[in-house]
Structure 1
């Protein structure tokens, strides 16, 4: 994080925003027991100092929507990692890209609508200079995911605890 949290109110405010960034400053002020202008000033400060970089909508996946999820393991020429990662950013199908150690150098989580789309994506990625080997594993079932949607619900739990003064 770029910015600093000044105090417990900042931490509680940030937790509330993570839980629901659409709450009005009036609603947030009531939950925190401070003036609306205090909330506005603190949010403005956290945005200005880079602690809050933006706001986004977390979309839920339609359970009837089909897609193919896979893990892409790339072995690369280390000196070309920056260039390779920049080129991988062009592919919206790559949802997560991580540098790792072990059997591969880069591990990507990929989602495509159809299996044929995965093949086309892999062909395009294989043309990136500096990738010496690529392996793919198709995800057959999601057992649990503690990111995004789960993070949103965890943030809600933390925000509720903060608003009750139970954490901090």
Structure 2
């Protein structure tokens, strides 16, 4: 990945709706160069797709929590696959420290959030969890 790729990605992360023409103008290269770099970044899976991020309130999922998960190391892959099947889980990260995974869970109410957390806790291979509910959003850089 060269400097142009890094600058292109920085612009796309800032505003993924920029046109090829605008990207070329800002990077001071031709449209063809920008298109070729984007194609190469897509082929190499550095750019893995384009999406719309909706505010959780629009989705009626106003309650959000992080669930820290400690799991049997021999069953970690199976645990991850089972968690992936739970629709309320928005992201799952492997983490360092006392816990192995961190799941971000979003739901409409605290009651439905509790049900989703119960689904996670009941997965075979999970040894313990710790849940923190988000109280307010201070900022979001993504």
TM-score by length of 2: 0.80
Secondary structure of the residue that 1:150 maps to in structure 2? coil
Count of aligned pairs between the two proteins: 141
In structure 2, list runs of 5 or more residues that go unmatched: none
Alpha-carbon deviation of 1:82? 0.7
Q: Which residue of 1 aligns with 2:108?
A: 113
**What is the alpha-carbon distance in structure 1 between the residues aligned to residue 19 and residue 68 of structure 2?**
43
Q: Which residue of 1 aligns with 2:141?
A: 150
Secondary structure of the residue that 1:80 maps to in structure 2? helix
**What is the alpha-carbon distance in structure 1 between the residues aligned to residue 30 and residue 61 of structure 2?**
47
Given that 2:61 and 2:106 are in contact with CA atoms closer than 8 Å, whether structure 1 keeps it comes out as: no
Question: Using CA pairs below 8 Å that are at least 6 residues apart, which structure has the higher relative contact order?
Answer: 1
In structure 1, list runs of 5 or more residues that go unmatched: 152-168
**What is the alpha-carbon distance in structure 1 between the residues aligned to residue 17 and residue 51 of structure 2?**
10
Is 2:7 aligned against 1:12?
A: yes
**What is the alpha-carbon distance in structure 2 between the residues aligned to residue 75 and residue 49 of structure 1?**
33
Alpha-carbon deviation of 1:113? 0.6
Q: Which residue of 1 aligns with 2:81?
A: 86
Aligned positions of 1:5-154 closer than 5 A: 5-6=1-2, 8-62=3-57, 67-142=62-137, 144-145=138-139, 149-151=140-142
**What is the alpha-carbon distance in structure 2 between the residues aligned to residue 150 and residue 100 of structure 1?**
20
Q: Deviations over 1:21-46 (max 9, x none)?
A: 22222222222222221211221222
**Greater Cα radius of gyration, structure 1 or 2:** 1
Q: Deviations over 1:30-64 (max 9, x none)?
A: 2222222121122122222222222122323448x
Given that 2:56 and 2:62 are in contact with CA atoms closer than 8 Å, whether structure 1 keeps it comes out as: no
